Amino acid sequence: MIEDHLSPLDSPEPAARKPRIALMGEFSAGKSTLANLLLGHDVSPVKVTATQLPPVWYSYGAPSLHRIDNTGAEVPISSQDLGTVSHKETQAVRILLETDVLEFCDLIDMPGTSDPNMPQDVWERVLTRADGVIWCTPATQAWRQSEAALWERLPERLRASSLLLVTRMDKLQTQTDRDRVIARVQREADGLFKKVLPISLTSALSNPDDPDALESSGADLFVESLIEIVETPGTLSADPSPAVFGAIQAAAPKPAPMPAPQVAPADVVVPRRVALKRARPRTRPIKKAEVCPILTPR
């Protein structure tokens, strides 16, 4: 019953729940491709309505699709309904998937920060619930002044638990160009992020089962850095103010709550779509025709 989720709940402290990582950046910065890589599903159907969709919150659970309305109620929807979901009536689209990375953390795919039709408060209210950010900036226009100005207005607590991901590195023609861009971004973003990392998301996504390709694309280093952020004691510190997403907490899967990241066992589930140098668990590659099952029209 929807009524079961109308009462908003205070957000648990980070030690009592999974970390929440927001994917941010300006329009067409690579956030959807990053989500594909981490989730192991092609979530591209969401991109069709990306200009009006509110944040998309991914959590672990039996595949299902809901929207959280402005009262905090959780309303089941079908994939066909995505085209009618608007940020004006919806705080977030909530997607449950049984995929590796979501046993490790929640992911929140945010609207593009440069979209003039998206009010700033649509994503600002979600950031009070986030523990860290992966900010995507394309190498061809890396770390523009508009991005830097917006980031400096966000809560300072996010800096120690956020990564600046310079995407589309494959679009730069020479190694000299790539080195120059990374050096400039590292200089201009000094102290604003835990790390600045180059990556070619398309290369990583096209070769998810090739350790050498994942290493050369920058995907290995990125995932190791993400795990380092989540596993480092005291790094994550979400805003303790009351949650605006009451239904997200109330309807979260009840079995096996996630322990505090700093006390997770050595064999904690990590994203297995990309390989880690310390342990390279394998999983099947993403097929071109593979799409998120709950986003496939019935």
Residue bearing the bigger pLDDT, 64 or 254: 64
Do the beta carbons of residue 171 and residue 244 sit within 8 Å?
A: no
265 belongs to a structural domain: no
282 belongs to a structural domain: no
Q: What is the mean pLDDT of residues 210-228?
A: 92
241 belongs to a structural domain: yes
Total of domains in the chain: 1
Q: What is the mean pLDDT of residues 100-116?
A: 84
pTM of the model: 0.76
- Least confident residue range of 4-8, 75-79, 138-142, 209-213: 4-8
277 belongs to a structural domain: no
- Least confident residue range of 144-148, 205-209, 262-266: 262-266
Residue bearing the bigger pLDDT, 221 or 53: 221
294 belongs to a structural domain: no
Helix residue spans in 155-253 (DSSP H): 175-188, 201-206, 211-217, 219-231, 246-250
Q: Is the pLDDT of residue 84 over 80?
A: no
- Least confident residue range of 96-110, 150-164, 267-281: 267-281
Say how many Å lie between the first and final Cα of the chain, rounded: 23
126 belongs to a structural domain: yes
Q: Provide CB contacts within 8 A for 135, sequence distance 6+.
A: 24, 25, 147, 151, 162, 163, 164, 165, 193
Q: Is the pLDDT of residue 75 over 80?
A: yes
Q: Is the pLDDT of residue 61 over 80?
A: yes
**Which residue type sits at 8?**
P
- Least confident residue range of 33-37, 58-62, 116-120, 259-263: 259-263
CATH code of 98's domain: 3.40.50.300
Which pair of structure tokens corresponds to residue 94? 């909530």
Q: What is the mean pLDDT of residues 206-216?
A: 87
Across the chain, mean pLDDT equals: 74
Q: Is the pLDDT of residue 209 over 50?
A: yes
298 belongs to a structural domain: no
The parent domain of residue 189 ranges over: 2-258
Q: Is the pLDDT of residue 250 over 90?
A: no
Percentage with pLDDT > 90 across the chain: 38
82 belongs to a structural domain: yes
Q: Is the pLDDT of residue 267 over 70?
A: no
